[in-house]
Structure formats: structure tokens, C-alpha cells
Structure 1
Amino acid sequence: MKNFLFIICLLSTNLAFAQKEITVSDIYEKGTFRQESVYNVNWMNDGKYYSALDDNKVQKIDVENGKVQETLVDGDKLEPELKIRSYSFSKDEKKLLLATDVNYIYRRSFTAQYYVYNLENKSLKPLSENPQMFATFSPDAKKVAYVFENNIYIFDLETGNTTQVTSNGKINKIINGGSDWVYEEEFYVTKTFYWSPDSKKLAFYTMDESHVKEYTLQKWNDGELYPENYVYKYPKAGEENSHVWISVYDLASKKTEKMDIGEEKDQYIPRVQWTKDSNLLSIIRMNRIQNILEILHANATTGESKVVLKEESDTYVALNYCDDLTYTNDGKYFIQSSEQDGYKHLYLYTLDGELVRQITKGDWEVVSIVGIDQKDSKIYYISTEVSPLDRTFYSIGLNGKNKKLMGDEIGNTRINMSNDFQYYLKYYSNPTTPNQVSLHQTKGNEKLATLKDNKRYKTITEKFGFVDKEYFQFETSENMSLNGYFLKPADFDESKEYPVIVYQYSGPGSQQVQNSWGGGHFDWHQMMTQKGYIVAVVDPRGTGGRGEAFKKMTYGKLGKYETLDMIETAKYLGNLDYVDADRIGIWGWSYGGYMAGNAILDGADVFNAAVSVAMVSNWRYYDTIYTERYMGLPQGNADGYDDNSPLSK
């Protein structure tokens, strides 16, 4: 095994222009380059207003002009005074759930002290004495369900009584209504209970993680001389996972019925949702290696279920299929995505799983569904149709006709539509335009107001001499076309030679090179250009936006083709007249750290330095869900796991 010292020399050069010097403190401490946005937006029922949390106030905002129409609650004026971290409305919009004293458990899950605020009489009441998790109103606004110490409770807002739904919850043993670590990290699941549309039933997960092996971390608390041991369940590739089952609790009978999800325990249930029928539960089931996805419909009273749709792949079924499943309001159809024609597109099915039609088609991908307006028979979605680097907003009929580009701005777009589809918030940027938040009327795409333009932020970046991205594309020796962009010093002179820092993430389906402002570690990279470095960002094989074949060619051998492409990148850069071929380094974080390690070990003749942050040293040490999705089980793919590990070089 070769041994290399992973270092990078940060040699400062004199700044040639009258620009302010970017410091580490500016980036990570002062927040000098923090952009403005509009956060925690909730559209109101009537479509004429939306609400947002700003300056510890939940404000009601007029859609027509973007101005605050009313402050619904001010945390500073409550008794007791609250620091509002998040909020949610009851469906009738007469009550608010306010979360405060938030303490994070893992990346997404947290405990909080929840309060119920009555918007009519201005009363404020704690949900319970102890911190809770995932407090959620019932659709009829009469009850709140929540999790406490791995058990589910229902609080009746009319009587003040609390019903305990489960009693077997125990830390590191049984979880009800919540998620174990690996489901949260890799399936993005935290809250795992769901009110039926009629508020009469509650579907929920139970996870038995008692047999999952434990991992211990040392946790250092402020002011303490010694650490405490934090023990949690971490299933590594090929090891045992939690056993999961789905149940439905009937509030009237107080009986719980298990849903039939099959006899196999070594499987996944990444998503559960109610159809429009309060007695029909939709359950997504995947096998252990995640190359089969099935949609089950279960009778919530009897637990009986049937498979209505099955998707199978020679490699893996991508997780985002799970988030695209949408049921129409009339209860007759559902929409699901698939890569069966080589690109991710949308398909319409009857409730029984009979294909009606493919809705979108082409050599491009549907990135996400924004919403389905059944009244006008339209789907709103984001796609890569303009180019793999762009994210643009479209509408199309459920019949697959009348596709329309919503607006003429090309770049990176995210959309938040009102419940009645009459208005939308647009979050937009391009390589020269920071985040813009604007309010639009859907009919005619009329722009009603600009809510955030980040002009102040843009002025700051200009004072600090931020440079624009320069996009490039090159062919490798294997005739693969790779996309990238440069950040060059402000005083760039192509007659000189510059050292280069290559940055990448490279994980399956990821994409660093997009027509957007910023990017991974953008401010730090700008600082490095001030120090005389060129920064090059490249997406290798296995990354997203370019179809199934390009994305999935790394299956079973993560690290192999990505490393070859990074070495090809260094060779391409080294042949440029303005690059010092003896001073090319590479860095990355997490998957990118894994890649930086492989690149320096396999490509020491072209890379002269590497920084690997939080790297994966061998996929055998990583978790089950992520690793096995792309690598299969280590018991059946030992060479794939070991051959491309930095520890094996």
C-alpha cells in the first residue's frame, strides 16, 4: 500500500485589484456572504395569502403585493415569550402549532416543546409538560398526534384528554411513529405516522432495532472534563437492519390492525401515505438491494393488501421514485415516475395499477413534481429539458399534451405553488444572478412582486471581487463528455501558469455543475482564487441530470469510473497552457473525500496534493441503505467493495 501525505499548501499571492480580502471568518463566522431568502412559507386556504416566519413572527402576506397584511402571532409578545422555530396550521386555519426549544437528535429529527395557539381567542397552551416529536394536527383540527419516548400519543383539543396509542417503545429497541438512524439518513424519513383524511385513523411505523448492532461515539459537552458515550444503532453494509411493520390505529374502537406487507422481514418501507380514501393506505415496499419497488394498497380495516404496481431494475430503483407518487383528488388515478425509457418521466395509472399513458417524454429528466391541478388537468414540474445543467419550470396536461415552459428565465428554478394553483413563489438563480425570490400569478406567468433580490449581497460579492463561473466541457480518452466550470483569479493572465484545485462530490445522481449561482463551498473557492488558484469543478460518470445510463454505470463498482474521470480531468487541465501541471490538487467532502483519496492514490502522476474530508475508506464500513443500493451486498460483491477502496491501494 502506498502512503501519501494529504496536504495542500495555501500560498497567498498579492491581490492585484482594490478588492477586499475574503477571510475564513467572513465565510464561517460572520456570515458575510449569507444570502436572503423567504423561509417557512405556508400557503393559506383561500389562495389570496401565504404565511411566513420572519423575525420571530408568523405573518400573513398578501399575494397580490407581497406585503404583510397581518401578524398572526409574535413570539416576543406571548406569555410565556417563545422563540418560534417552526409552525404549522390546523386545516381550518384557526389554530397554530408552535415549536420552540428545539434539540436536534440526528440530521433532521428533533424534540421540541410544542404549544397550541388559538388564533381566535389568542390563547396559548403547551401540548404536554415534556418535549415532544412531530406534533401534527388531525385534518379535522380536533386532535394532535405526537411522539414521546418512542411511543405515539393523541391529544384531544376539545376535552384535553391524552390517549396513548402504543406502549412498547424503548430507546434503542422499539420505535413507534419515528425513525431509526439509517431510515432518517438515507430515506429522509423522520415522522412515521399519518392521519387518515377523515381523522378517524392513524397509520404508523413500528421499527424493531433491538438486534441491530450498536456504535458508540464520544460526546463532549461544554465545560465537562470527560465525554459521555452516545450509543446508537448503525447497520453497516451486509449487517442486520431494523424490522419494520405498518399498523393502523382506529380512534373509535381503539384497536390497532397490522397491514400485510409480506412475510419478508429483510426489506424496506421507504414511504407510506393515505390515498384519497380513508380506508385505503398506500405503502411503498422495496427489497433489500433496492432493485424492486412495489406499490401496495392496503385495506386499513382488515390489513389485507395487494400489489398494484411493480418497478424492477437491473441495477437499482432510485429513491426519488418514492416522492413522486401522487394520487389524484377524484381517487381514480395515481401518477408515478419511472426510468423505463432511459430517462425519468411521469406515468398515469388507474388506482388498480393499469397504465393509462406516459405523460412526459424525451431525452431529458423530470426532476420533481411541483403539483397536480386536477381542475385544469395539469401537472406542474421541474425538468432538465433545456439542458442537463438547467432546472426549468413546465406545465403539461394529464393527457400528455400542451406542454408549456412557465417563464423564459433559463437557470436554476424551484417552485412553491399555492394550494389552488393560482399563484407560485419562484426561487431562481443563474451563474451571474444570486437567489431571487418572486411572486407570480400562474395565469400568464405574471410577476406580481420581487420579495428578495439580494442586491445587497451582490454588491458585497463585487466588493470582495467574486469571479464568475466559466463553463467548459471536454472529452476523455474513453470518449466520455464531462461537464465542469472554472473559477479563475480576478487578475487572470493566460500567459501565466496557475496551480489548480479540483473540487468534486461525484456521488450517484449528484450534480455540482449547474447553471446556478454558487455551489458547494463557493465562498471558500472564491477565497482560493484570491490566493492565486484556479478552481475547477467537474461532474464525473455516475452523476445526475444526464439519464439513467450515465448515472447507473457506476453500479456495483463505486469509485472506479469516477476516479478514472478525475484523473482524466487532471490530464486535461495539465495540458492547458495556463495551468501548472505540477501543481494540481483535488479535494472533496464525504463521497468527495472518498474520491479525493482514490484520485491521489491512483493518479499520483497527475495529482500533487489531496484533501479528503469525512471520507469513506471502505464501503463495508458505511450504512446498509445507501451502500447496498449502489453496490449490492458485500457478501455477493466482495471485489466491488474492496478493489476501489483507498485502503486497498
Structure 2
Amino acid sequence: MKRLLVLVLLTAVSGSTRATAQQDDPSRLTVQRIYGSPEFAAQPFGPSRWLGDGSAYTTVEPAAEGAGREIVRYDVERGSRKVLVSARHLVPAGDKEPLDIEDYVWSPDGTKALIFTNTQPVWRLNTRGDYWVLDRNSGELSQLGGPEAKPSTLMFAKFAPDGRRVAYVRENNLYVEDIGTAKITALTTDGSRTLINGTFDWVYEEELMNYYADGWRWSPDGSSIAFWQLNADSVKSFHLVNNTDSVYSRVIPIQYPKVGETNSAARVGVVSAAGGPTRWLRIEGDPRNHYIARMDWAASSGEVILQRLNRLQNRNEVMLGDARTGQVRTVLLEQDSTWVDLVDDVVWLDGGKSFTWVSERDGWKHVYVVSRDGKQIRPVTKGDFDVLDIQGIDPKGGWLYYVASPDNPVQRYLFRTRLDGKGKPARLSP
């Protein structure tokens, strides 16, 4: 019996020794090592932001000591690392733990950081949460929204061009908050479940805005804000049954227009950042059978540029709207018997005298430069091929960078060509 016990103990010790040796052997790959340890886990990166002239960028990394994360700066040329915002600077007064940085942006002068945290989903993305401003000079950390703001109700906060104010959407209304005085000015007050200011309903978010429902823009001089307003009072509800998160199921009504049913009515308004009446752009046609699919300032604080689709989405009207009078004029029309694409690569050139445009009007997808009045449309790229992707537009240098497959459809190359259309494109990738 004693011999048997000794044999069992020796076998156990030997097995344990072999297991330990296997675990300590760096050349041995096991299922436990792959999935049961963080050794092979992908390391997260970002959110990252370029600084100034592009010589450095910032990103978010775990704090060197303690809980939380910090914002660090990396020099592109030298690779040097510097902590700009440590986790201890992100601890609100009265709390012990730092804010969890889910996103952030810098003020134009780089002295303030706008921190997005405590987020909640709206449709697909976490676009609703709390915003805090950190002043790097004073170290002051302050929450936006005021005492009336409920937790996780602010959306799409952005610094004004002067960096002294922040505007945001809260419960379907627009607000501007002065960072220094904490004074909050309501720009709209009529927001409700069916009247939506500065953001979008399900259709716009899903079908037109690539899931990111930011529905307002600062003017370049910071004096005004242009925004969408959607009226969904005639959109019928589709009822979803939620039987996954509680003992009893519940019905969730979602406003969802089926084919041929009534859409939301969209319009664009311009309001002073100091408050006051909204100037609505006077766009002809039934707003429930058209989509204002894109809107931004047109290289000045006096006009906005719009792209309006008909409901069939085979007609895209490019319009310029006067921010002071509300008058609108069409400067470019794209139409097809099937459908037309929206254009996100609109870049203003020559001080706002012209803009870049992407069109299939000659049967191939090419880049054009269009005069502000729409009377001149000049091709930048030419040939029997499609521009697959625009990688960059350099207005100052006068260059367009794009990806195309002009000779072999299974090979993609990076090209550079002049925006004035002169010369031949140069292939940059091997």
C-alpha cells in the first residue's frame, strides 16, 4: 500500500513538472495560451487626433499608474512620447476614479480637450453621453449641460471656431454653452419626440448619414449654426417586441416609414449662436418626398451648400442657400434613370470660387471641378476607368490623390494628378 501511494505521488509530481515545463516553454503554443491569456490579444489604438501641421498626433493609452487612461502625444518624425493629459487630471471633483475617455477632440488652439464619456447607444452608435471640458492651462475640469441636463443626454458637442464656446444637442434641441461663464443659450425650444433639431430620425441615420446622425454645423466665423429639423409627426410606428432583457416582453414603437408611406419632412435653418429666430431656407417641393441628404457651409459664413435627393434617389440637386435671406438656387444637377450617389468629397478651391465634385455623367466615375455658379464643369480625371476612392485633395498644392484600376480591374493603384487638369496623372504605388 505504501509503495502504491509513493508511486501515485511521484506520478503526480512528474506530471506537474511536465505541465509547468510546457507552460514555461516559450516555443510551445497551446489553446490555453492563445485564448486564455492576453498574450496574443490585439492592442487597442485610439481614438487618435492629428495636431497642428501634422507633425504629431495624440492617442489614448492606459495610465502608467493606477486606473483610467491618459492622452499622449507622439512626434511623427522622432517617435518621442509625451503625456498631455494624465488620468489624475480627469478625476471630477468629489470622485475618486477618472473619466473613461470614449472620445475626445481638441479646441482649435489645443489648450482645451472635450471629453466624451458615459455613452449610450442611439440606434447603432453610442452618440449620446456626457461631455466634459478640460482646460490644460488651469487644470479645471467642468461638465457641460448645466444642472437641468440628465445623465447621458448630450450629443455631437463641438468647439466653436474661437474655442470659447461649445454647442451640442440635448433631447432634440440645440444649445450653446460659454466655457468661461457656463452660460447656456437655447437655440431651439420646440424639440420633441417627433420634432427633431440637430439630429435625425431612423431613415436619415440609417439610409443617408452612414449611421452618424450629427445634424448641425458651426459657421466658419462662429457667429451662426446651420442645422436640420425633421418633422416626424405623420410617420407611422412599427412595433418591435423585446423579450430578451426582462421576464415579461414589452412592445417598443419605432417610427419607421415603409415603402410608399409618409416620410419625415426635413428643412434646414440658420440661427445666431447668441440665440434668436431661425432663418429657414426656402426650398421648393414637397419636403416629405425629398431628402436633404447633405449640408455644410459653402466656404463662407454667408451660404450653405445642400444636396437634395428625390424619393427615388435618381436626382441630386446641388443648391446654395443664403444664410441671411433664406433664398436658395440650384447650381448643379445630377440625374440618372436608376440612381445617383451622394458626394462626400466636396472641397472648396480658389477661396470658394469653385468646388470638387464626383460624377458618372460620362459613364465613368470621375472627379470634376465646378464653378460656384455651376456654369463651368471641368474634368480633373479622364479615361475609361472609375475613380474608386479619393485619398486626399490638396487645395494649396493643387493636387488630387485617388485610387483607380485603369489597366487591370483586379489591381488598385494610387495616383496623383493636378486639380487644374493639366499634365498626365502619376502612379505613386508600385
TM tier, smaller:
0.7 to 0.9
C-alpha deviations, 1:216-243, integer Å up to 9, x for none?
2233565x31234322211112211110
- Find the partner of 2:133 among 116, 136, 142: 116
Task: Give the distance between the partners of 1:215 and 1:267, measured in 2 at CA.
Answer: 22
Taking a change above 3 Å as real, the CA distance of residues 84 and 312 of structure 1, as seen in their structure-2 partners, is same
Aligned partner of 1:335 in structure 2 is 356
C-alpha deviations, 1:553-598, integer Å up to 9, x for none?
xxxxxxxxxxxxxxxxxxxxxxxxxxxxxxxxxxxxxxxxxxxxxx
Task: Give the distance between the partners of 1:390 and 1:114, measured in 2 at CA.
Answer: 45
Task: Give the distance between the partners of 1:37 and 1:399, measured in 2 at CA.
Answer: 41
Residues 1:160 and 2:182 aligned together: yes
- Find the partner of 2:76 among 44, 63, 70: 63
Measure how far apart 1:389 and its partner are. 4.0
Aligned partner of 1:74 in structure 2 is 86
Partner AA of 2:171 in structure 1: E
Residues 1:145 and 2:167 aligned together: yes
Aligned partner of 2:427 in structure 1 is 405
C-alpha deviations, 1:304-330, integer Å up to 9, x for none?
0100000110110023xx212222261
Give the percent of matched residue pairs that are identical in Structure 1 and Structure 2: 34
Task: Give the distance between the partners of 1:135 and 1:205, measured in 2 at CA.
Answer: 15
SS, match of residue 116 in structure 1: strand
Task: Give the distance between the partners of 1:149 and 1:199, measured in 2 at CA.
Answer: 23
Aligned partner of 1:83 in structure 2 is 100
SS, match of residue 367 in structure 1: strand
Aligned partner of 2:335 in structure 1 is 312
Measure how far apart 1:255 and its partner are. 2.4
Equivalences for residues 558-637 of structure 1 within 5 A:
none
SS, match of residue 269 in structure 1: strand
Measure how far apart 1:365 and its partner are. 2.1
Aligned partner of 2:267 in structure 1 is 245
Partner AA of 2:79 in structure 1: G
Aligned partner of 2:220 in structure 1 is 197
Partner AA of 1:79 in structure 2: V
Aligned partner of 1:256 in structure 2 is 278
Taking a change above 3 Å as real, the CA distance of residues 65 and 293 of structure 1, as seen in their structure-2 partners, is same
Measure how far apart 1:141 and its partner are. 0.9
Larger deviation, residues 240-249 vs 378-387: 378-387
Who wins on radius of gyration, i.e. which is larger? 2
Residues 1:232 and 2:244 aligned together: no
Residues 1:325 and 2:371 aligned together: no
Aligned partner of 1:480 in structure 2 is none
Is the contact made by 1:40 and 1:86 (CA closer than 8 Å) also made in structure 2? yes
Residues 1:217 and 2:240 aligned together: yes
Measure how far apart 1:406 and its partner are. 2.9
Aligned partner of 2:59 in structure 1 is 52
Measure how far apart 1:354 and its partner are. 2.4
Partner AA of 1:207 in structure 2: L
Aligned partner of 2:11 in structure 1 is none
C-alpha deviations, 1:496-548, integer Å up to 9, x for none?
xxxxxxxxxxxxxxxxxxxxxxxxxxxxxxxxxxxxxxxxxxxxxxxxxxxxx
Aligned partner of 2:144 in structure 1 is 127
Is the contact made by 2:89 and 2:139 (CA closer than 8 Å) also made in structure 1? no
Partner AA of 2:58 in structure 1: S
Is the contact made by 2:185 and 2:275 (CA closer than 8 Å) also made in structure 1? no
Taking a change above 3 Å as real, the CA distance of residues 218 and 198 of structure 1, as seen in their structure-2 partners, is same
Measure how far apart 1:393 and its partner are. 2.7
Aligned partner of 2:368 in structure 1 is 347
Task: Give the distance between the partners of 2:225 and 2:348, measured in 1 at CA.
Answer: 19
Partner AA of 2:347 in structure 1: T
Is the contact made by 1:292 and 1:310 (CA closer than 8 Å) also made in structure 2? yes
Residues 1:291 and 2:314 aligned together: yes
Q: What is the total number of aligned residue pairs between the two structures?
A: 382
Taking a change above 3 Å as real, the CA distance of residues 33 and 275 of structure 1, as seen in their structure-2 partners, is farther
Partner AA of 1:278 in structure 2: S
Is the contact made by 1:364 and 1:388 (CA closer than 8 Å) also made in structure 2? no
Question: Where in structure 1 are there 5+ consecutive unaligned residues?
Answer: 1-18, 409-649
Aligned partner of 1:183 in structure 2 is 204
Is the contact made by 2:187 and 2:275 (CA closer than 8 Å) also made in structure 1? no
Task: Give the distance between the partners of 1:33 and 1:270, measured in 2 at CA.
Answer: 43
Measure how far apart 1:402 and its partner are. 4.3
Task: Give the distance between the partners of 1:306 and 1:31, measured in 2 at CA.
Answer: 58
Taking a change above 3 Å as real, the CA distance of residues 323 and 206 of structure 1, as seen in their structure-2 partners, is same
**TM-score (norm. length: structure 2):** 0.82
Measure how far apart 1:390 and its partner are. 4.5
Taking a change above 3 Å as real, the CA distance of residues 388 and 174 of structure 1, as seen in their structure-2 partners, is farther
Is the contact made by 1:109 and 1:190 (CA closer than 8 Å) also made in structure 2? no
Measure how far apart 1:77 and its partner are. 5.0
Is the contact made by 1:178 and 1:190 (CA closer than 8 Å) also made in structure 2? yes
Taking a change above 3 Å as real, the CA distance of residues 384 and 97 of structure 1, as seen in their structure-2 partners, is farther
Task: Give the distance between the partners of 2:79 and 2:261, measured in 1 at CA.
Answer: 52
Task: Give the distance between the partners of 2:31 and 2:404, measured in 1 at CA.
Answer: 35
Aligned partner of 1:577 in structure 2 is none
SS, match of residue 241 in structure 1: coil
RMSD, matched Cα: 2.5
C-alpha deviations, 1:68-91, integer Å up to 9, x for none?
2x2222346521311100011111
SS, match of residue 344 in structure 2: helix
Taking a change above 3 Å as real, the CA distance of residues 109 and 277 of structure 1, as seen in their structure-2 partners, is same
Measure how far apart 1:299 and its partner are. 0.6
Is the contact made by 1:386 and 1:392 (CA closer than 8 Å) also made in structure 2? no
Taking a change above 3 Å as real, the CA distance of residues 30 and 353 of structure 1, as seen in their structure-2 partners, is farther
Partner AA of 1:73 in structure 2: V
Larger deviation, residues 356-365 vs 98-107: 356-365
Equivalences for residues 346-425 of structure 1 within 5 A:
346-385=367-406, 387-400=408-421, 401-408=423-430
C-alpha deviations, 1:370-426, integer Å up to 9, x for none?
332222111222334464444443221112234223332xxxxxxxxxxxxxxxxxx
C-alpha deviations, 1:590-625, integer Å up to 9, x for none?
xxxxxxxxxxxxxxxxxxxxxxxxxxxxxxxxxxxx
Is the contact made by 2:346 and 2:355 (CA closer than 8 Å) also made in structure 1? yes
SS, match of residue 125 in structure 2: coil
Taking a change above 3 Å as real, the CA distance of residues 390 and 142 of structure 1, as seen in their structure-2 partners, is farther
SS, match of residue 330 in structure 1: helix
Is the contact made by 2:133 and 2:141 (CA closer than 8 Å) also made in structure 1? yes
C-alpha deviations, 1:118-168, integer Å up to 9, x for none?
122221110124330111111111211111111111111132110111111
Taking a change above 3 Å as real, the CA distance of residues 123 and 213 of structure 1, as seen in their structure-2 partners, is same
Residues 1:99 and 2:111 aligned together: no
